[in-house]
């Protein structure tokens, strides 16, 4: 065996080199993690400059999606300038007939029992994907001109895993009204209005909605017609009505099957016979039960 006088010395250098390499790898990993969380943070939006297009009557050529369901019809205008990537994806699905015969897979309830809305566009009654489910997802698009007020339609698919980000998918959520105006106003009372927080508060106070969904969903459309259908579906009992929300096996599907029988694209000019109406928050509604100013059909 040949003797190598540098063997021991070389071994020490190798050990030190490995330690140095490990330190570099750990440092690089730390930088990547920090950058990940930096870019993962929701964008800060200056709402003082927002133009809340949801509450403005659209032009006649504005794209409208018509949802015909087993419980009635409702219509919504799409905001292609605010969520271009998702709107392009959504319109493709509509034009391919993807949403025909899909289900309302969940009816959402707030902690106090208020009707928070419902999730639709699922190929299955329970919301689980199958071989027919479109699993493409787009990045979340947040616009300062759109809020999760009552009737807003958004999409959110939560990815599992530490390094995953929430994205928008083929199922969509129609948001109902669960806002507590007094609590909302109290929560912002002593805060500095440097980013137009007062404008946001005023919008939710007037039109209701779900403030806790703010900057979480890709909001891409706004219901303006067919409010009776929205209310009817939102108020349905779910399969596991009595189970706690903490129960992982709780089934939020409506007890009575609700399907989208036909979903198709049109324009506002062709679908404005009932006007462009977004009802005010329930606390602002007249008490007269015969008042029909909330835009409900029939």
User: Can you name the residues that pair with 263 across neighbouring β-strands?
Assistant: 67
Q: What angle do CA 72, 78, 81 make, to 5 degrees?
A: 175
203 with 142: CB under 8 angstroms? no
Q: What is the C-alpha to C-alpha distance for residues 202 and 224, in angstroms, rounded to an integer?
A: 19
Residue 105 has pLDDT above 50, yes or no: yes
CA 155 to centroid of chain Cα atoms: 4
Q: What is the C-alpha to C-alpha distance for residues 93 and 263, in angstroms, rounded to an integer?
A: 10
Q: Does the domain at residues 47-284 carry the CATH identifier 2.40.100.10?
A: yes
Alpha carbon separation from 1 to 4, 150, 208, 226 (Å, rounded):
9, 84, 85, 91
Q: What is the C-alpha to C-alpha distance for residues 297 and 225, in angstroms, rounded to an integer?
A: 7
Question: Over the stretch 118-128, which tens digit does the pLDDT of each residue have?
Answer: 999 999 999 99
Question: Over the stretch 67-79, which tens digit does the pLDDT of each residue have?
Answer: 999 999 999 999 9
Residue with tokens 């330190």: 23
Q: Give residue 250's pLDDT.
A: 86
Q: What angle do CA 201, 282, 106 make, to 5 degrees?
A: 90
User: Can you name the residues that pair with 72 across neighbouring β-strands?
Assistant: 69
Average pLDDT, the chain: 82
Helix axes 181-188, 197-207, angle to 10 degrees: 170
Q: Give residue 20's pLDDT.
A: 52
Question: Over the stretch 199-257, which tens digit does the pLDDT of each residue have?
Answer: 898 999 999 999 888 888 999 999 999 999 999 999 999 998 888 878 888 899 999 99
Question: Over the stretch 168-201, which tens digit does the pLDDT of each residue have?
Answer: 999 999 999 888 877 877 776 766 777 888 889 8
Q: What is the C-alpha to C-alpha distance for residues 166 and 32, in angstroms, rounded to an integer?
A: 19
Question: Over the stretch 254-280, which tens digit does the pLDDT of each residue have?
Answer: 999 999 999 999 999 999 999 999 999
Tokens encoding 217:
């969903």
pTM of this prediction? 0.80
278 with 207: CB under 8 angstroms? yes
Question: Over the stretch 146-164, which tens digit does the pLDDT of each residue have?
Answer: 999 999 999 988 765 555 6
Q: Give residue 159's pLDDT.
A: 63
Q: Give residue 282's pLDDT.
A: 73
């Amino acid at each position: 065996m040949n003797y190598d006088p540098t063997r021991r010395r070389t071994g020490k250098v190798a050990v030190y080199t490995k330690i140095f390499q490990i330190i570099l790898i750990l440092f690089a990993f730390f930088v990547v993690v920090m950058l990940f969380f930096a870019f993962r943070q929701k964008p800060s939006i200056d709402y003082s400059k927002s133009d809340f297009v949801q509450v403005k009557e659209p032009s006649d050529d504005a794209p409208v999606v018509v949802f015909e369901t087993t419980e009635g019809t409702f219509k919504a205008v799409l905001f292609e300038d605010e969520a271009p990537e998702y709107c392009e994806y959504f319109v493709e699905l509509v034009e391919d007939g993807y949403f025909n015969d899909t289900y309302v897979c969940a009816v959402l309830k707030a902690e106090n029992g208020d009707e928070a809305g419902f999730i639709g566009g699922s190929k299955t009654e329970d919301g689980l994907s199958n071989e027919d489910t479109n699993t493409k997802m787009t990045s979340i698009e947040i616009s300062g001109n759109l809020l999760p007020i009552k009737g807003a339609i958004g999409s959110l698919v939560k990815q599992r895993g530490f390094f995953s980000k929430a994205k928008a998918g083929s199922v969509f959520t129609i948001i109902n009204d669960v806002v507590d105006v007094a609590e909302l106003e109290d929560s912002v009372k002593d805060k500095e209005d440097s980013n137009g927080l007062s404008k946001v508060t005023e919008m939710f106070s007037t039109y209701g909605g779900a403030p806790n969904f703010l900057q979480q969903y890709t909001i891409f459309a706004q219901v303006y017609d067919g409010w009776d259908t929205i209310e009817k579906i939102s108020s349905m009992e779910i399969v596991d009505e009595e189970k706690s929300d903490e129960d992982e096996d709780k089934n939020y599907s409506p007890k009575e099957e609700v399907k989208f029988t036909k979903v198709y694209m049109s324009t506002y000019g062709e679908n404005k016979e009932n006007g462009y109406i977004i009802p005010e928050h329930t606390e602002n509604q007249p008490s007269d039960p015969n008042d029909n100013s909330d835009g409900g059909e029939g």
